[in-house]
Amino acid sequence: MATANTPENAALTVRNLSIYFGGNHVLKNVSLDVAAKAVTAIIGPSGCGKSTFLRALNRMHELVPEARMTGDIRLFGDDIYARGIEPVAVRRRVGMVFQKSNPFPTMSIAENVTVGLRLNGAREKKFLVARTEESLRMAALWEEVKDRLHAPAISLSGGQQQRLCIARALAVQPEVLLMDEPASALDPLATSKIEDLVRELKRNYTIVIVTHNMQQAARISDFTAFFYLGELVEFGPTPKIFTNPSQKRTEDYVTGRFG
Partner 1 sequence: MENSFEAGLDELKQKLLTMASHAETAVNRAVEALVQRDNALAQRVKDEDRVIDHFEVEIDDLVIQLLTKAPLATNLRLVTVAMKISQDLERIGDEASKIAKRARDLSLEPPIKLNLDLPRIAGLALDMLKKALDAFVNRDSAAARAIIPRDKEVDALNKQIHNILAQHMVENPGAIGRCLHWMVASKSLERIADHATNVAEDVVYLCEAQDIRHTGVKSGAAIG
Partner 2 sequence: MELLAFACAILVVMPLLLVFYHVLREGLSSVNLAFFTQVPAAVGEKGGGMANALVGTVVLIGQAALVGVPIGVLGGIYLSEYGGTKFNWWIRFAADILNGVPSITWGVVVYGLMVVPMHGSSALAGGVVLGLMMIPLVMRTTEEVLQLVPGGYREASLALGISKWRTIVQIVVRTALKGIVTGVLLATARIAGETAPLLFTAFGNLGWAHGLKEPIAAVPLVIYNYAMSPYPDWHRQAWAGALVLLLLVLFINIGVRFLTRDRFQQKI
Interface residues toward partner 1, by CB under 8 A: 214-215, 218, 242-245, 250-251, 254-257
Work out how close the CB of 229 gets to partner 1 at its nearest, in angstroms, rounded to a whole number.
Answer: 20
For partner 1, which is the closer residue by CB, 46 or 243?
A: 243
For partner 2, which is the closer residue by CB, 88 or 189?
A: 88
From the list 10, 11, 44, the residue with the least C-alpha distance to 217 is 44
In the list partner 1, partner 2, none, the entry touching 84 (Cβ below 5 to 8 angstroms by class) is none
In the list partner 1, partner 2, none, the entry touching 172 (Cβ below 5 to 8 angstroms by class) is partner 2
In the list partner 1, partner 2, none, the entry touching 169 (Cβ below 5 to 8 angstroms by class) is partner 2
Work out how close the CB of 124 gets to partner 1 at its nearest, in angstroms, rounded to a whole number.
Answer: 49
Applying CB under 8 A, the residues found at the interface with partner 2 are 58, 60, 63, 88-92, 95-96, 98, 100, 102, 104-106, 115-116, 119-120, 152, 154-155, 165, 168-169, 172
Instruction: Calculate helix-pair angle for 158-171, 188-201, nearest 10 degrees.
Output: 20
Q: How many CA atoms lie within 13 A of 76 on its CB side?
A: 10
From the list 72, 30, 55, the residue with the least C-alpha distance to 80 is 72
For partner 1, which is the closer residue by CB, 152 or 237?
A: 237
For partner 1, which is the closer residue by CB, 148 or 257?
A: 257
Q: Hey, which residues does 209 pair with through a beta bridge?
A: 41, 179
In the list partner 2, partner 1, none, the entry touching 251 (Cβ below 5 to 8 angstroms by class) is partner 1
For partner 1, which is the closer residue by CB, 53 or 253?
A: 253
From the list 57, 151, 81, 143, the residue with the least C-alpha distance to 112 is 151
Work out how close the CB of 250 gets to partner 1 at its nearest, in angstroms, rounded to a whole number.
Answer: 8
Work out how close the CB of 40 gets to partner 1 at its nearest, in angstroms, rounded to a whole number.
Answer: 18
Please state, in angstroms and rounded to a whole number, the distance separating the CA atoms of residues 85 and 124. Answer: 28
Work out how close the CB of 86 gets to partner 2 at its nearest, in angstroms, rounded to a whole number.
Answer: 9
For partner 2, which is the closer residue by CB, 116 or 236?
A: 116
Work out how close the CB of 251 gets to partner 1 at its nearest, in angstroms, rounded to a whole number.
Answer: 5
